Structure 1
Amino acid sequence: MFKEIFTLEVINNLSKNTLVEHIDIQFTEIGDDYLKGTMPVDKRTHQPLGLLHGGASVALAETLGSVAATMTLNPEEQYCVGLDINANHIKSAREGTVEGTARPLHVGKKTQVWEIKITNEQKELVCVSRITLAVLDRKK
């Protein structure tokens, strides 16, 4: 499903000097139909009560969904941009690491829809998110 040019090294290097690097999101696994990544739960991703900020969970979800969608395309011809994202926050987290897994629900010629499940270190569901992306052609 994913283009072979996309390796963990390549996609992790794309994050240099971005929000992704700032909050230490790391891409960790590319499967046949999924992309996994982790994010620390620490002062960079906390809200004032010391819990994982919902926006940080959405940042992880959008990162995984957008990158996974892009990995299905020829990057010289097309790219993806987010149209809509939602998130349901199921369980709080105060420390450790969360892991997100993005899986496709729809991979079309003009749109893609991905579901991202975020779990804590005990594999408990912390957040479930869905992102819809537009597939755009690069101008030649």
Structure 2
Amino acid sequence: MADDEVGVDDRAATQAALDEVFESMGALADRMGVEVLSASAERVVGRMPVVGNTQPYGLLHGGASCVLAETVGSVAAALHAGRGGRAVGIEINASHHLGVRDGSVTATATALRLGRSLATYEIQVVDDAGRLVCTARLSCMIQRSTTAE
């Protein structure tokens, strides 16, 4: 098999895994306007609007930052788990650095450790000017199918 054919097969498998992950992102991510801009097991970038995701003082809600962080980290972990596997968040922590009132925020999840049963990501959330809004860390338990495909 030629190298370029292997690359095509790899891309098709990655796209199939992405399709599976995006179909199961859930209602909360949709409701909050989260969109995934790029994705791999090592790095996922996603964006969310500030408007509609604020607390009573008009600032981006800290919980909304956590939803965005957990979404991008979980997408990455699910890609790491592969087709037929799944990733379940088991721990998240976040530090909120800056209030945001408008525009959008972008989160980048970067793998810290991709193990057989645990994946851990650092997620940085920035505003439209690139200022750090929130730093989070997410650990996901990886569950793989035990049936042969």
Fold agreement, TM-score > 0.5: yes
SS in 2 for 1:21: helix
Q: Which residue, 66, 78, 90 being the options, matches 2:97?
A: 90
Cα distance in 2 between the residues matched to 1:21 and 1:32: 21
Answer with 46-55 or 67-76: which moved more.
67-76
Describe the SS at the equivalent of 1:106: strand
Equivalent position to 1:54, from 62, 76, 86: 62
Paired AA for residue 82 in structure 1: G
Structure 1 residues not aligned, in runs of 5+: none
For structure 2, list consecutive stretches of 5 or more residues without a partner in the other structure: 1-10
Q: Percent identity?
A: 32
Deviation at 1:110, TM superposition (A): 1.0
| Residue among 66, 73, 82 paired with 1:65 | 73
> Deviation of residue 25 (structure 1)?
0.1
Number of residues of Structure 1 aligned to a counterpart in Structure 2? 135
Give 3-state SS (helix, strand or coil) of 1:63's partner: helix
Hey, which of these two has a bigger chunk of helix by percent?
Answer: 2
Is the contact made by 1:114 and 1:132 (CA closer than 8 Å) also made in structure 2?
yes
The structure number with the bigger radius of gyration is 2
Counterpart for residue 112 of structure 1? 119
State the Cα deviation string for residues 11-60 of structure 1 (Å, max 9, x = none): 54444x60000010000123683110000001x20000000000000000
- Alignment partner of 1:126 out of 109, 133, 146: 133
TM-superposed CA distance for 1:107, in Å, is 0.3
Matching of residues 33-52 of structure 1 within 5 Å = 33-42=42-51, 44-52=52-60
- Give 3-state SS (helix, strand or coil) of 1:52's partner: coil
Contact 2:21-2:79 at 8 Å conserved across structures = no
Q: What is the alpha-carbon distance in structure 2 between the residues aligned to residue 63 and residue 87 of structure 1?
A: 14
TM-score (structure 1 length as normaliser)? 0.87
Deviating beyond 6 angstroms after TM superposition, the runs of 4 or more aligned structure 1 residues are none
Counterpart Cα distance in 2 of 1:133 and 1:28: 21
Q: C-alpha displacement at 1:75, in angstroms?
A: 2.4
